[in-house]
Amino acid sequence: MKSPLNPDDYKALASFRYAMRKFLSFSRGVLLAEAELTPEQYEAMLALKAFAGPAGLTIGDLSERLQVRHHTAVALVGKLVGRGLIDRKSGTADRRQVFVRLSSQGNRVLQKAAVIHRRELRERSGEMIEALSRLQK
């Protein structure tokens, strides 16, 4: 049986959650002001940039990356396609498969938002790492 949590464990858990909430609050504000994106749209674009092959990612792969249901990913893709931030194309071998990838405009918007997020994470990461380190003991 695992050892029970001690007061320091609770403090570390709470500290990590607090740091994450501060970052996510910052993120929501920046995404809206700088790119008119929702956090989910930003996460989808990050996933496409980081994990898409030459053809892109399938909607199924994107839904897995985002941990959302398939129809939620489809709706998200529709909004991003409508804004010209991603391109959608049917597969050549199986036309039922749909691949999505960032458009050139999507790449520009993502880069702007990602630079701001990286800078903020660099400033806040010490607090998060310290809380996580306390939990590893």
Q: Is residue 1 part of a domain?
A: no
Give 52's contacts (C-beta < 8 A, 6+ positions apart). 100, 101, 102
In terms of Cβ atoms closer than 10 Å to its own Cβ (0-12, 13-18, 19+), residue 76 is buried
pTM: predicted TM-score of the whole model, two decimal places: 0.90
Phi/psi at 52 (5° precision): -75, 140
Residue 119 is part of a domain; what is its CATH number?
Answer: 1.10.10.10
Residue ranges in the chain modelled with pLDDT below 70: 1
| Residue for token pair 């809206």 | 32
Q: What is the pLDDT of residue 7?
A: 92
In terms of Cβ atoms closer than 10 Å to its own Cβ (0-12, 13-18, 19+), residue 53 is exposed
| Residue for token pair 């993120």 | 27
Q: What is the pLDDT of residue 21?
A: 96
Domain around 11: 7-135
Q: Is residue 2 part of a domain?
A: no
> How many domains is the chain built from?
1
